[in-house]
A and B are shown apart, each in its own frame.
Chain A
Amino acid sequence: MRLIGAGLLLLLPLMAVSLGVGAARIDLGAVLTDPWATLVMTESRLPRTLAVVLTGAALAVAGVVLQALVRNRFVGPETTGTAESAALGLLAITILAPTAPIWIKMGAAAISAMAGTAIFIWIIRRLPPREVMLVPVAGIVLSGVISAVVTFVGWQTDMLQYVGTWLMTGEFSGVIAGRYELLWIAAAAAVLAWFAADRFAILGLGDSVATGLGLSPKAVLRMGLAVVSVVTAMTITTVGMIPFVGLVVPNIVARLMGDDLRASLPVVAIWGAALLMACDLIGRLVIFPYEIPVGTVLGVLGAGIFLWLLYRRPARATA
């Protein structure tokens, strides 16, 4: 509970700052009276702040779920080929059915993300069981291979520009009302994960333990895959690739409060939101009024935290 409180204490002021910062100067006190201020607030500032919070929370939760499925702490949705697979699916549907409605495109991205993650899990189940560190390496290489395919296809079909926005570093500067609502679906998937938290925690202990406790490992695996894929696909298509949130936040929370997922998932969500909010603010303020994409900020900060985690905990620590 204390961690939730601390997280909120961090997150809420950050959100307030986020509402106040932007290229357009508005008087926060006059939001309700000044129509211009109201417009900026409801069309741009609020959607952006909400988008950051939803993305951060959902990605962090997806990271926890993925780590339980893979039984390895050193993976996140962006290091398992999930994000690149989502982009591949999106690219395929855009080529095959350019006029398809948005929900079909999202569905294609999510299904493709699921397939990519399933391939990853298939691969790592064939690795020697004790090679903890090879799992993320395999994931990063798989991401590279899929991303080469996406680039190749994008090139061939003159769609490299779209591909660029999905695979390059994510940013929230384009978020306005009407262009971020898909993220609510990601948040819903994260809530679903909380309801199934015990199942993921048990699966994290191993297939035989899960079976022994009367759970079907395959069913839990499928549900977990669905959560991770939906979150990743929605994030990728709305704001692009956001690295390290799903990787470092679950690690830090697990270090502080262990792996009781039902208790820790809300904490993970809040801290994920706070981390992303903080990074987004850094990106917005460093070269104000220009912006550094949040993905870039996280790439630097997240990699630093990750290296610290890598050398702090004993090398063999698995999920």
Chain B
Amino acid sequence: MQLPEISRQNLILLTGLTLLLAAFSALWMLQGLPPEGNRSFILKLRWTKLAGLIVVGAATGIATVLFQTVAGNRVLTPSIMGFDSLYVLLQTSLVMMLGIAGVAALPVGEKFLLEVGVMTLLACILFGTLLGRGARDIPRTILTGVILGILFRSLNSFLGRVIDPIEFAVVQQNSMASFSRIDANLLPYGLGLALLAMVGAMLLASRLDVLGLGREVAVSLGLRHERVVILTLALVAVLVAIPTALVGPITFFGLLVAGMTHGLAQTARHAILLPAAGLIAATMLVAGQLLFERVMGQAAFLSVIIEFAGGLFFMYLLLKGRIR
């Protein structure tokens, strides 16, 4: 679809975001690098973390935009609907079935792929039922998701206690987000899967534009609504599993990113929205981590600050009457 007057504006937006991300990434890699000594070691360490932050950000941002299009609502996010709690629960269930030693014996990559596979299946069944026909009663759907989230989290700690009341804390670590602990072994798998899912999302972009018109209009335009919904939910599941596996669950980050994306990119075209969301989210994480880790020396705060800001943003949307 040719939209000359808007597409130039969006071109500037995407270019600007890319440059901004590149600038922060360069700063991240090079800032305060010692003139000699362990330079290559430090660079490698920084590179791992940078890649992790970008993957986590981009996956979360894109997953949220995708999910909001499926749900037909600008407030629902995969995290609010309990996607990441489901993933954490899945991880614990795996421990339950195989035992701590059994899970430890699994190769990291295979275990991750297995989890993502099961997660995708479950998410499609569960949220496909909940949202398949375009969620008529949206507030109730939100509430259901929130409660499902609580249910998954409680089940998770329940299982955790049953598995091993003493080593409970180890299992429980999964349920707290930390951007400082990015698993380098998992990163290549996360990166690969995220790239695949993003390409898939871009291929769906035109169909997603139609999906954004609501079920009725979409069906009338000949879109295979159910199939696109399920495909999109599968992509969302993969894109949520990656950041959750890498850093843990982050509830409100996606909402913040999606809100900013729709505010900055004045378009409904997913070909623009999806990359914009990915770039915005990655830039926010890299810049935020740079600020907290290097400037303020307190790396752990970023996730707390994001939750706080995201929660306030949600309240703002609620009070402005934008949530319906």
User: Given known contacts A299-B153, A304-B151, A307-B151, is B165 in contact with A315 (CB within 8 Å)?
Assistant: no
Among B180-196, those with CB < 8 Å from A are: none
Quick check: which of B18-26, B99-107, B202-210, B301-309 contacts chain A, the rest being far away?
B301-309
Quick check: which of A59-67, A139-147, A221-229 contacts chain B, the rest being far away?
A139-147
Chain A binding surface SS class = helix
Interface residue A17 (Cβ < 8 Å from any Cβ of B): no
Asked if B165 and A290 make an inter-chain contact with CB atoms under 8 angstroms apart, the answer reads: yes
Asked if A74 and B151 make an inter-chain contact with CB atoms under 8 angstroms apart, the answer reads: no
Of B146, B154, B305, B312, the residue contacting A300 (CB under 8 A) is: B154
Minimum CB distance partner of B318 in chain A: A138
- Residues in A with CB closer than 8 Å to B142 are 133-134, 137
User: Given known contacts A133-B142, A140-B146, A303-B147, is B307 in contact with A287 (CB within 8 Å)?
Assistant: no
User: Given known contacts A137-B146, A144-B311, is B151 in contact with A303 (CB within 8 Å)?
Assistant: yes
- Residues in B with CB closer than 8 Å to A32 are none
Q: Tell me the bound Cα distance from A243 to B148 in angstroms.
A: 14
Interface residue B143 (Cβ < 8 Å from any Cβ of A): yes
Q: Tell me the bound Cα distance from A304 to B312 in angstroms.
A: 29
- Residues in A with CB closer than 8 Å to B153 are 299
Q: Tell me the bound Cα distance from A128 to B305 in angstroms.
A: 29
Asked if B158 and A297 make an inter-chain contact with CB atoms under 8 angstroms apart, the answer reads: yes
Minimum CB distance partner of B142 in chain A: A137
Asked if A300 and B319 make an inter-chain contact with CB atoms under 8 angstroms apart, the answer reads: no
Asked if A155 and B315 make an inter-chain contact with CB atoms under 8 angstroms apart, the answer reads: no
Asked if A299 and B154 make an inter-chain contact with CB atoms under 8 angstroms apart, the answer reads: yes
- Residues in A with CB closer than 8 Å to B305 are 152
Interface residue A25 (Cβ < 8 Å from any Cβ of B): no
- Digit string of B288-316 for contact with A (CB within 8 Å is 1, else 0)? 00000000000011001101100110110
Asked if A137 and B161 make an inter-chain contact with CB atoms under 8 angstroms apart, the answer reads: no
Q: Tell me the bound Cα distance from A130 to B137 in angstroms.
A: 12
Interface residue A151 (Cβ < 8 Å from any Cβ of B): yes
Q: Tell me the bound Cα distance from A197 to B17 in angstroms.
A: 58
Asked if B162 and A310 make an inter-chain contact with CB atoms under 8 angstroms apart, the answer reads: no
- Residues in B with CB closer than 8 Å to A315 are 137, 140
Interface residue A169 (Cβ < 8 Å from any Cβ of B): yes
Asked if B318 and A299 make an inter-chain contact with CB atoms under 8 angstroms apart, the answer reads: no
Chain B binding surface SS class = helix
Q: Tell me the bound Cα distance from A307 to B218 in angstroms.
A: 30
Of B148, B301, B312, B315, the residue contacting A138 (CB under 8 A) is: B315
A-B contact count (CB 8 A): 112
Asked if B319 and A123 make an inter-chain contact with CB atoms under 8 angstroms apart, the answer reads: yes
Asked if A123 and B300 make an inter-chain contact with CB atoms under 8 angstroms apart, the answer reads: no
Q: Tell me the bound Cα distance from A145 to B251 in angstroms.
A: 11
Q: How big is the A interface, by class? A: 35 or more
Asked if B150 and A132 make an inter-chain contact with CB atoms under 8 angstroms apart, the answer reads: no
Interface residue A131 (Cβ < 8 Å from any Cβ of B): yes
Q: How big is the B interface, by class? A: 35 or more
Interface residue A312 (Cβ < 8 Å from any Cβ of B): no
Asked if A148 and B311 make an inter-chain contact with CB atoms under 8 angstroms apart, the answer reads: yes
- Residues in B with CB closer than 8 Å to A151 are 304
User: Given known contacts A149-B308, A292-B161, is B251 in contact with A137 (CB within 8 Å)?
Assistant: no
Q: Tell me the bound Cα distance from A152 to B304 in angstroms.
A: 7
Distance to closest chain B CB from A244 (angstroms): 8
Q: Tell me the bound Cα distance from A131 to B140 in angstroms.
A: 9
- Residues in A with CB closer than 8 Å to B318 are 123, 127, 134, 137-138, 141
Among A65-111, those with CB < 8 Å from B are: 74
Interface residue B174 (Cβ < 8 Å from any Cβ of A): no
- Digit string of A291-304 for contact with B (CB within 8 Å is 1, else 0)? 11100111110011
Asked if A296 and B315 make an inter-chain contact with CB atoms under 8 angstroms apart, the answer reads: no
Interface residue A20 (Cβ < 8 Å from any Cβ of B): no
Q: Tell me the bound Cα distance from A306 to B147 in angstroms.
A: 8
Minimum CB distance partner of A143 in chain B: B311
Minimum CB distance partner of A131 in chain B: B139
Among B138-188, those with CB < 8 Å from A are: 139-140, 142-144, 146-148, 150-151, 153-155, 157-158, 161-162, 165-166
Asked if A287 and B150 make an inter-chain contact with CB atoms under 8 angstroms apart, the answer reads: no
- Residues in B with CB closer than 8 Å to A298 are 154
Asked if B139 and A145 make an inter-chain contact with CB atoms under 8 angstroms apart, the answer reads: no
Of A137, A290, A291, A300, the residue contacting B151 (CB under 8 A) is: A300
Asked if B307 and A144 make an inter-chain contact with CB atoms under 8 angstroms apart, the answer reads: yes
Interface residue B252 (Cβ < 8 Å from any Cβ of A): yes
Of B144, B162, B251, the residue contacting A292 (CB under 8 A) is: B162
Interface residue B8 (Cβ < 8 Å from any Cβ of A): no
Interface residue A286 (Cβ < 8 Å from any Cβ of B): yes
Q: Tell me the bound Cα distance from A303 to B180 in angstroms.
A: 32
Q: Tell me the bound Cα distance from A296 to B160 in angstroms.
A: 10
Minimum CB distance partner of B139 in chain A: A133
Minimum CB distance partner of A128 in chain B: B321
Asked if A148 and B308 make an inter-chain contact with CB atoms under 8 angstroms apart, the answer reads: yes
Most chain B C-beta atoms within 10 Å of own C-beta, residue among A140, A148, A291: A148
Among A166-214, those with CB < 8 Å from B are: 169
Of B143, B155, B161, B251, the residue contacting A287 (CB under 8 A) is: B161
Per CB-CB distance, the 4 closest pairs between chain A and chain B, nearest first, are A299-B154, A133-B139, A303-B151, A145-B311
9 additional contacts, CB 8 Å, given A148-B304, A296-B158, A298-B154? Answer: A134-B142, A141-B318, A144-B252, A144-B311, A145-B308, A287-B162, A291-B161, A299-B157, A303-B147
